[in-house]
């Protein structure tokens, strides 16, 4: 009996191979960049390696080019400016972003990518685990500051990350192309994290070995200056992304202060029928009006924020996930 032609199984379309791009922000990393490029070549030979040189004053660009990377010059200083350029210029299905200082062991990179693809995730963060070979690799001050700032973001925006400031991350295309980078410097990691939490993107965190810099190279991170900038970024994102909560808090504080100060005046008025401290009464009235105004501002800005989030969400949804890159 012959098989009916309409009942023959239809072969599934063969999806194209994933395009993987390694994007490496660099500033004066001449002693480390060749090692980073070589490790990418060994672990991900199919990836295109892009080094974004942030106006280095040493031979970073020449060494990276000699190692086989594609080098792009970024004149505006700051890691945030580099990240904005990377996501705009590079076309790929998966983006692997890592600092160019050779402190991240890339041996587990394939596992991070597999986790992203198998789970159809949008971000996988490499949580740093000190290799223990040098006490200065992951200093106590940096470790404490990271925990403090990560906890603040988790408390304000949700999520369960343990290393918000990691410089090793894997992104899907729909993450990269929907990320409206605003930050200029090292605070970009905070913005990257909040973007995923704000849109409730699926993400994961896996441990990676964190090691010492190559001998002779120096960190560009300033514990107090950059920590302060990151804290300011968290506050700005709190105001812009959670305005109702922020302004409601201000309104509550003003209202409670007004009530507490008004109680003695009310008691005096009930006993004597007089208001002996009229300026104070006027001030309290203004404070209560300010509380009402702060609450109204929170409601208005909350509506604006919802509109912005919906626009970003629609942009995010317009880009196929990593599992469906060949079916768009």
Domain definitions of the chain by residue range: 20-241, 243-324
CA distance 104 to 22: 14
Q: pLDDT (tens digit, 9 = 90+) per residue, 288-321?
A: 888 889 899 999 999 998 988 888 888 888 888 8
Q: Count how many residues are written for the chain.
A: 328
Q: pLDDT (tens digit, 9 = 90+) per residue, 261-291?
A: 766 666 666 667 666 665 666 677 778 888 8
Percent of the chain past pLDDT 90, that is, above it, reads 38
The CATH code of domain 20-241 reads 3.90.550.10
Residue 324 in this model has a pLDDT that exceeds 70 = no
CA distance 287 to 256: 10
Q: State the pLDDT at residue 131.
A: 65
pLDDT tier, 136 (very low <50, low <70, confident <90, very high otherwise): low
Measured CA to CA in angstroms, residue 326 lies from 22, 93, 96, 124, 222 at distances of 21, 10, 20, 22, 43
Residue bearing the bigger pLDDT, 254 or 10: 254
Range of lowest pLDDT (161-165, 170-174, 267-271): 267-271
**Which of 191, 161, 69 minimizes the C-alpha distance to 25?**
69
CA distance 183 to 189: 9
Q: State the pLDDT at residue 14.
A: 42
């Amino acid at each position: 009996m012959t098989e009916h032609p309409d009942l023959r199984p239809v072969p599934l379309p063969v999806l194209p191979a994933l395009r993987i791009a390694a994007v490496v922000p660099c500033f004066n990393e001449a002693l480390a960049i060749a090692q980073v490029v070589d490790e990418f070549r060994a672990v991900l030979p199919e990836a295109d390696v892009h080094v974004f040189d942030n106006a280095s004053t040493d031979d970073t660009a020449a060494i990276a080019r000699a190692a086989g990377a594609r080098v792009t010059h970024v004149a505006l200083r700051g890691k945030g400016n580099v990240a904005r350029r990377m996501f705009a210029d590079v076309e790929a299905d998966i983006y692997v972003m890592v600092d160019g200082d050779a402190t991240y062991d890339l041996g587990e990179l394939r596992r991070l990518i597999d986790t992203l693809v198998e789970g159809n995730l949008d971000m996988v963060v490499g949580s740093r685990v000190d290799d223990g070979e040098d006490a200065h690799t992951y200093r106590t001050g940096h470790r404490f500051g990271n925990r403090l700032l990560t906890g603040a973001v988790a408390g304000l925006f949700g999520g369960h990350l343990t290393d918000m400031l990691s410089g090793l991350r894997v992104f899907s295309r729909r993450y990269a192309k929907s990320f409206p980078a605003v930050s200029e410097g090292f605070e970009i990691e905070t913005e990257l994290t909040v973007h995923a939490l704000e849109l409730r993107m699926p993400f994961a965190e896996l441990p990676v070995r964190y090691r010492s810099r190559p001998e002779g190279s120096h960190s560009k991170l300033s514990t107090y200056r950059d920590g302060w900038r990151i804290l300011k970024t968290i506050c700005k994102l709190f105001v812009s992304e959670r305005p109702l909560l922020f302004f409601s808090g201000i309104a509550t504080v003003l209202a409670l202060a007004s009530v507490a100060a008004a109680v003695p005046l009310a008691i005096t008025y009930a006993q004597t029928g007089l208001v002996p401290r009229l300026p104070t009464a006027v001030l309290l009235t203004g404070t209560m009006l300010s509380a009402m105004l702060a609450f109204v501002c929170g409601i208005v800005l909350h509506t604006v924020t919802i509109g912005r989030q919906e626009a970003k969400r629609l942009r995010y949804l317009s880009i196929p996930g990593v599992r469906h890159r060949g079916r768009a």
